[in-house]
Amino acid sequence: MPTAKKTFLVKGMHCASCAITVEHELRKVPGVHEANVNLANEKATVAYDSEKINDDVLRSAVANAGYEALISHEFEEEDKEKIAREKELSDLRRKVIVSLTLGALIVWGSFPVLMSFAPAFLKNPWIELLLATPVQLWAGWMFYRAAIPALRHRTANMDTLVTLGTSAAYVYSIAITAFPQIISATGAAPVPYFDVSTIIICLILLGRYFEAKAKAGTSEAIKKLIGLQAKTARVIRNGKETDIPVKEVIIGDSVRVRPGEKIPIDGIIESGESSIDESMVTGESIPVDKIAGDAVIGGTVNKTGTFVFKTTRIGSETLLAQIIKLVEEAQGSKAPIQRLADKVSAVFVPIVIILAIATFVVWFAFGPEPRLTFALLNTIAVLIIACPCAMGLATPTAIMVGIGQGAEHGILIRNAESLEMAHKITTVVFDKTGTLTKGKPEVTDVIAFGNVSENEILRLSASLEKGSEHSLADAILKYAESKGISASIVEKFEAIPGHGISGIINGKRWYLGNRKLMERAGVSTAEREKDAIRLETEGKTLVFVSAENRLAGVVAIADTLKETAHSGVEILKQMGIEVAMITGDNERTAKAIAGVAGIEMVFAGVLPGKKEALVREMQNSGKIVGMVGDGINDAPALAAADVGIAMGTGTDIAIESAGITLMNKNIASVASAIRLSKNTMRTIKTNLVWAFGYNIILIPVAMGALYLPFRILMNPILASLAMALSSVSVVVNSLLLKRRKL
């Protein structure tokens, strides 16, 4: 069953209930496996069966919920989304200006203090009706447009509350204007409240405008990444250099890049050399020297030299495109902590409507005169102040900013769950080779025993390693090549996982591997143990060479620690996090390397398949484990860990292998990722406390809880202002994450 994933814009959502409604409609569609709707970036991410569902089906599902889906197919079409957002802001701005102007005129003619300075015609209720109607039915139509489909689906959202509150004030005012005697007969004062309905709509629209402007800042990282994409490429075809759009470049094209230019697409350098600024992808500020054969990443900047490279990946397959997609999907994912907000939001609006009805009934029955007016204004205040915007924005805005900030520092977070879990990590387990070390082992010593020469040991080792995929094989082969030693033909080659290799050379069975392989082959290493111990305590990995049952020699290989290993480990320890190292090396070599890195807990001699079991053993003892590996060989352990952290080297494989991928080689970035998680979770909790606290405190005030003891009531206009400010404050608090250092 072919599964596709698509992220697209949903227009018209304004609260958590809106997002839940759209999410529910998408999940109902046969063939949809999963759907997440993010209120903060107004996007839906849907995983579905591509044979059953197309874009039209998704659009229809969203439309059925009462909203509009804007689906683009390529990153180049991001402009469509930008235009749509700019149009929405422009419409909001225009409606705010009109509402504010007309509302100000109504207030001028109806507010007691200002009435004495107002022209006579503004005091006429029919003129007030004329001024209020465009606000209610034009500027406020967006609330009706969203509330009606919700009613059809037997649900309620923020727009339902605004529609009920403002419509009640508007219709009541029309009744007073048209039939003042009838209203007076009920005991109510014949005073219209067009100012209430108009100013409420104006303030909510103003809040929504500022909210939209602020939310744009939460997706700044995506905009920056998209901005990295080059528009043109200088392609060499038929001996001629031509500037063409990047989308017309094909795999295998030769592309020339000059100093100061942006590398347009992924590829391999064919000729020339340069220094390249990869900071926008890796977060590392120091330029990287590149020569023929090295990979280059589209979107990075060429600093010094001129070179020609062959394209290897285009379009959505480029590293930058993958990163953009990953960040976008991650920003749209839901953290487990959001489930509480979603559950509350799902029942919140119906509860508010019940409370509003109860408020009206109680005050109409027992309130002071004029009871109808008193009950109506309190009811409107309850409906307006309780809009659950802040609850819906509390988690996703912080998640978006946190994931975006990570991307800007070369920390790619695959989903919100990984971001949330990272702050709980109590133990970080590092793989050794390629993670703590540079991953470029070199031969340091070749020792021969008996009548065999060192060159012969090197020749035999290179011959056996030629058929091996082990990380140490390349080091031996390169060293042999540098010595001008050619490999011999090997027959009946056999790889023994976790031990080494063997094969027949010139009719004799040779073994190449660790002590375990020697024991397995019945070869004693006791006579040379003194030399072996000396080399291992220097942090070198030993590869023993034997013929039949006789030890013939040993090759020592060293893989030096990364410059940031010790400092990165120290930062983690200062944060109170336990640090361990896991490796297949013997205990002496492992402890020597771990000692330099500052790691006390060492697990040595661990076979590749046992790393996962060791991680699970730690988890069973109550530890929250973050596993740090190269993203390929350590895949099972990365998957088993509470948070898998891949020390990526800019490869798509690394991006796919873990919950968090560090695009640079800096060990300190592990601590930065955990610190980012802590900062984000702190912000989310602050947002949620504010969102829930705001409603818990102000809804009773709006209902009139302070009227009897203190004669304090919540004016509906103040309620609308408080509601608007609550949403904006949550978004602004999330944006403050950008100022916190990692």
Among the listed residues 396, 328, 406, the one whose alpha carbon sits nearest the alpha carbon of residue 671: 406
Q: Between 338-366 and 16-28, two packed helices, what is the crossing angle to 10 degrees?
A: 120
Instruction: Considering the candidates 195, 431, 585, 642, report the single residue annotated as catalytic.
Output: 431
Q: Could you write out the DSSP letters of every residue in 88-153? A: HHHHHHHHHHHHHHHHHHHHHHHSHHHHTTS-GGGG-HHHHHHHHHHIIIIITHHHHHHHHHHHHT
**Cβ neighbours of 115 (radius 10 Å):** 13
Report the alpha-carbon distance of residue 277 to residue 639 in Å, rounded. Answer: 32
266 is annotated as an active-site residue: no
Q: Residue holding tokens 């606000």?
A: 135
- Map 199-213 to HEC letters: HHHHHHHHHHHHHHH
Q: Do 309 and 257 meet the contact criterion of CB atoms below 8 Å apart?
A: yes
**Cβ neighbours of 240 (radius 10 Å):** 7
Among the listed residues 288, 295, 327, the one whose alpha carbon sits nearest the alpha carbon of residue 313: 295
Q: Do 335 and 401 meet the contact criterion of CB atoms below 8 Å apart?
A: no
Query: Which residues lie below 8 Å from residue 239, measured CB to CB, with a gap of 6+?
Result: none
Q: Residue holding tokens 């804007």?
A: 70
Among the listed residues 253, 245, 296, the one whose alpha carbon sits nearest the alpha carbon of residue 275: 296
Q: What is the DSSP letter of 261?
A: P
Retrieve residue 568's tokens: 């990165």
Report the alpha-carbon distance of residue 12 to residue 146 in Å, rounded. Answer: 7
- CA-based diameter of the chain, in Å? 122
Q: Kindly calculate the radius of gyration of the chain based on its CA atoms and give it in whole angstroms.
A: 34
How remote is the C-alpha of 316 from its chain's centroid? 18
Map residue 169 onto helix, strand or coil: helix
Retrieve residue 387's tokens: 């809009």
How remote is the C-alpha of 120 from its chain's centroid? 58
Q: Could you write out the DSSP letters of every residue in 227-247? A: HHS-SEEEEEETTEEEEEEGG
Among the listed residues 729, 710, 14, 723, the one whose alpha carbon sits nearest the alpha carbon of residue 383: 723
Query: Which residues lie below 8 Å from residue 231, measured CB to CB, with a gap of 6+?
Result: 245, 246
Could you give the residue numbers annotated as active site? 431
